[in-house]
Chain A
Amino acid sequence: GENVEQHPSTLSVQEGDSAVIKCTYSDSASNYFPWYKQELGKGPQLIIDIRSNVGEKKDQRIAVTLNKTAKHFSLHITETQPEDSAVYFCAETGNQFYFGTGTSLTVIP
C-alpha cells in the first residue's frame, strides 16, 4: 500500500539510551519490511529487515519487531552511539517499495 506512516519525524537521545521508531502500514498483503539508514550525502543503507512470518529479529544493537495484526513495525536501537545519528526510513513492499517519511535521529554525546 502507499500509506506508510512513520513516527517520530525527529528524535534526540542521550548517548547510551535507546531509540524507538515506529511505522504503520495499510496493505495487508505486504510481507517484507526493511529499515534503511541514510547519512548525509549518501544513499540509504539497509540495516535490518523482517518478513511477515517472523515477529522479531535482532542484529547486535538493532532489533525490529512486527505486529501483522495491528499492521505496525518498529526499529529499536539500544546503547545508542553518536555514529547512529542519521535519517532512518522504514519501508514495506507489496509490488513495490513504499517508504516512510523518515526519522532524523540525533544522538547527543
Chain B
Amino acid sequence: KAGVTQTPRYLIKTRGQQVTLSCSPISGHRSVSWYQQTPGQGLQFLFEYFSETQRNKGNFPGRFSGRQFSNSRSEMNVSTLELGDSALYLCASSWGGAVNTEAFFGQGTRLTVV
C-alpha cells in the first residue's frame, strides 16, 4: 500500500509569489490535514479536509488556503509569499471517520522563500 505522497519535495520561491503544494493520501483515506513545521514554532496545524470539505482550520492568515478533490487528493496554496513562510509543509492522511484516528504523514515539501 503506497504511503502519503507530497510533491514537490523542494521548492524555492520569491517573496510575493504564490505556490501550490500537492498531497496524495493513502488509498481509502478521506481526511487530509496540512501542517507547517519550523524550528521556532514546531508543528502547527493549518487545516483539515474531509470529503472535499474543510472540517477544521488553524490560526493562519487567509493567504493560506486549500482544497480537496473527489479522489481525496489535496492541494495547499500560499499567496503573496513572505520570508517567514519558509518551512517544511507536511500533510497527513487518515481514514477520517473521526478526528482522533491514526494519521500518517508524507515526507513534506521544503519551501524556501527568498
Contact = CB atoms under 8 A, between A and B. Distances in A.
A42 B105 CA distance: 9
Given A43-B108, A44-B105, A93 B43 contact: no
A98 B45 contact: yes
Interface in A71-99: 89, 93-99
B70 interface: no
Quick one: which of A32, A43, A49, A102 has the most chain B CB within 10 A? A43
A51 B100 CA distance: 9
Given A96-B56, A97-B33, A97-B45, A42 B100 contact: no
Interface string A43-70: 1111001010000000000000000000
Given A96-B45, A96-B56, A96-B58, A34 B102 contact: yes
